[in-house]
Each structure stands twice: as C-alpha cells, then as structure tokens.
Amino acid sequence: MDLQLKGRRTLVTGSSSGIGEGIARMLAQEGCAVVVHGRNRERAETVAAEIKAAGVAIGDLSTDEGAAAVHAEALAALGGNIEILINNAGGSSTGNTTKTPIEISPADWISNYHTNTLAAVRLCGLAVPDMVAAQWGRVINVSSAVAVQPNNMGADYSGAKAALNNFTLSLAGSLKGVGVTANTVSPGIIMVDGMLRFGRQKYGDPNLTIEGVTQRLAADKVFDLPPAGRLGTPQDLALVICMLASPMSGFITGANYRVDGGQVRTV
Ligand SMILES: NC(=O)c1ccc[n+]([C@@H]2O[C@H](COP(=O)([O-])OP(=O)(O)OC[C@H]3O[C@@H](n4cnc5c(N)ncnc54)[C@H](OP(=O)(O)O)[C@@H]3O)[C@@H](O)[C@H]2O)c1
C-alpha cells in the first residue's frame, strides 16, 4: 500500500536512539523528509546519515529555548514548515522506578512534566499554527501504557504521560475541520538499546540477545510478559505511526493507539 508519505516534511523528536530512531527509519523508508532530533549532535548525525535524513535538529526540549532552537533548525533543514510532528522524546527524567508516590518530590514531578508533557506542548505551539495555515498536518504524541494503567512506582513519569494524553485530546478537539489530526500512541514495554544494555550489565553477559534479556528479566519478575508473549520493538510502534501520519488517516483524530502486546486491560 502506498501511504502517500513521499516528501512529507517530518520532525521525529528523540530519534537519536530507541523508539524514535525506529520511527524515523520507517518514515524515511516511506519517503518522508525526516529531521532527526536529540540532545547529542554526534548521535543524531550518525542516525541521520544511516537513514538518509533531511538533517538534524539539536536541543533540550525540557526548556522553551531548547524547543525554539529545535524548531528553527528543523525548519531550516526541511526548507518549509513541519507537516508531520512526532513528539517522541521523553522517558523518566528522574528514574524513580522504585519510589512510592509519597517518596517522590514535587521537583521530580516538575522535571517529568517538562520532559514528557511540556516538550510536546512547546513544539505543538510552534509547529501547529503553520499546519493550520496549510490546512494539513499530523501530530502524533508518544505516551505510555502507564498513562492509563500506572504502576505504584514512578508516578511522576506516568502522571506526566497522562497529562500528555489529556493535552492530545484537547488539541484534536480544537483543530476542527482544518485538516490537522492529533493522536496518541501508547507503547507497552519496548526493547530498546538502553534496556538491552541494562540486562547485559545486570546478568554480566555482554553477549545476551534481546530474547535472552527478555526471558531473564521476565523470570526475575522485573516485568510480566504481555499476552503477545514478547516485548515490543521500535518497529511495532513505527508501523502504527506511519499509518497515522498518512493522508489516508484523516478521519482518525483524538485517538489513543495502544501498542503494548495486550498489556493494558481495558475495553
Ligand atoms: N522503551 C519503553 O519501554 C517505553 C515504554 C513506554 C513509553 N516509552 C516512551 O517512548 C519514548 C522513547 O523512549 P525510548 O525508550 O526510545 O528512550 P531512549 O532510547 O532513551 O530515547 C529517548 C530519546 O529522547 C531524547 N530525549 C530525552 N529527553 C530529552 C529532552 N529533555 N530533550 C530532548 N530530547 C530528549 C533522547 O535524546 P538524547 O540522545 O539526547 O539522549 C533520545 O533520543 C519516550 O517518550 C518514552 O517515555 C518508552
């Protein structure tokens, strides 16, 4: 199927590694002009060269200044406005995976809010007016399964992702009849390089494969495998994002697509 993505000017935030890299790679394969983003220029340029991207945009999205710099560099690389904005950058900025809600400080909540909610709010504020003027655009925000099914630990991260879901629905509702859609994609546990490194270090075996790390972590109850029987991959996410980015998906807006192998138990 031709998703009609050829030449579409696209920014994928947090695409210097992990899920974002997988998304950028698949969108580039579909013909999008992709800008790769991260905080580290060397890492972003390595990915950009590999996927034949339109360029890179560097900056910390947890600040207004950083987001403005990313937006400006992306526009320069694309030679026009951003048509497809994938707000993927994020992750727990505090790493509070073992802290209960009352052990997490207000400062930690604010930190995660800046990284996981406001990063997207900032870029939408900069890029969406141009989409509206052009009467076409796609905003896809990468949230998390924990936004709707939080763990007992790490509430500062899951709370920030829940706010992102809320923002996306309001944004979609406000963009009535202007050809711009806004959706959320919510990953379950996705095996990215960081997790592979963590597993290899934890078990002292640098040769452990993704399957090996997954089995060991599941056996040690670090997580439960979802009904799909495996962890997700960046490609699992990228597939859904390519679909939502397509001009053929104009009737899908305000939705939250779960890509979690069946992890979230809800109807
Ligand atoms: N992996 C999972 O299991 C999982 C599950 C649910 C949701 N998610 C979400 O999926 C997204 C991608 O996660 P990942 O697992 O692929 O993580 P990752 O491999 O650590 O990649 C995170 C990316 O975001 C960028 N980033 C992080 N904080 C940033 C900031 N303040 N400003 C600008 N860029 C920033 C990083 O850039 P640098 O190169 O500069 O570090 C990197 O490119 C995140 O939003 C995460 O919350 C992941």
The mean pLDDT value for 256-265 works out to 97
Instruction: Determine the distance separating the centroid of ligand 1 and the alpha carbon of 22, expressed in angstroms.
Output: 12
pLDDT averaged over every residue in the chain:
97
Give the Cβ contact number of residue 99 at 10 Å: 17
Query: Among 39, 86, 165, 197, which is best to mutate for testing ligand 1, by the most ligand atoms less than 8 A from CB?
Result: 39
Q: Which of 152, 154, 227 is nearest to 188 (CA)?
A: 227
Cβ–ligand 1 contact at 194 (below 6 Å) = yes
Return the residue matching tokens 């494969």: 209
Report residue 207 CA to chain centroid gap: 28
Closest ligand 1 atom, residue 194 Cα: 19
Between the CA of 30 and the centroid of ligand 1 the distance, in Å, is 23
DSSP assigned state of 226:
P
With contact defined as beta carbons under 8 Å apart, do 9 and 78 qualify? yes
Q: Which DSSP helix (H) or strand (E) runs through 236?
A: helix 234-245
Q: Order of strands, edge to edge, in the sheet holding 256-259?
A: 55-58, 33-38, 9-12, 84-87, 137-142, 180-187, 256-259
Termini Cα distance of the chain: 30
Nearest to 43 by CA among 82, 24, 16: 16
**Cα Rg of the chain (Å, integer):** 18
pLDDT at residue 164 is higher than 90: yes
Q: Which of 130-144, 147-161, 212-226, 227-241 has the lowest mean pLDDT?
A: 212-226
Scan for tokens 């007992």, then name that residue.
152
Q: Token digits for 246? A: 């397509």
State which amino acid sits at residue 234. Answer: P
Could you tell me which of 39, 37, 3, 1 has the C-alpha nearest to residue 21? Answer: 37
Name the nearest CA neighbour of 23 among 243, 239, 183, 192.
239
- 4, containing H or E segment: none
**How far apart are the CA of 16 and the centre of ligand 1, in A?**
9
Residue whose CA lies nearest to ligand 1 atom number 36: 14
Whether 93 and 112 have beta carbons less than 8 Å apart is answered as yes
Our answer on whether the CB atom of 142 is closer than 6 Å to any ligand 1 atom is yes
All structural domains of the chain, each given as residue ranges with its CATH number in brackets, are: 9-190+233-259 (3.40.50.720), 192-231 (no CATH)
SS3 sequence of 111-170:
HHHHHHHHHHHHHHHHHHHHHHHHCCEEEEEECCHHHCCCCCCCHHHHHHHHHHHHHHHH
Q: How far does residue 220's CA lie from ligand 1's centre (Å)?
A: 25
Q: What CA–CA distances, in Å, run from 201 to 67, 91, 165, 196?
A: 34, 20, 34, 9
CA of 249 to the centre of ligand 1 (A): 26
> What atom in ligand 1 is closest to the CA of residue 37?
43
pLDDT for 116-138, tens place per residue?
999 999 999 999 999 999 999 99
Q: How confident is the model at residue 97 (pLDDT cuts 50, 70, 90)?
A: confident
Ligand 1, atom nearest to 22 Cα: 16
Q: What is the pLDDT of residues 36-93, one digit of tens each?
A: 999 999 999 999 999 999 999 999 999 999 999 999 999 999 999 999 999 999 999 9
Q: Give the distance (Å) from ligand 1 centre to CA of residue 93.
A: 9
Identity of the residue numbered 139: V
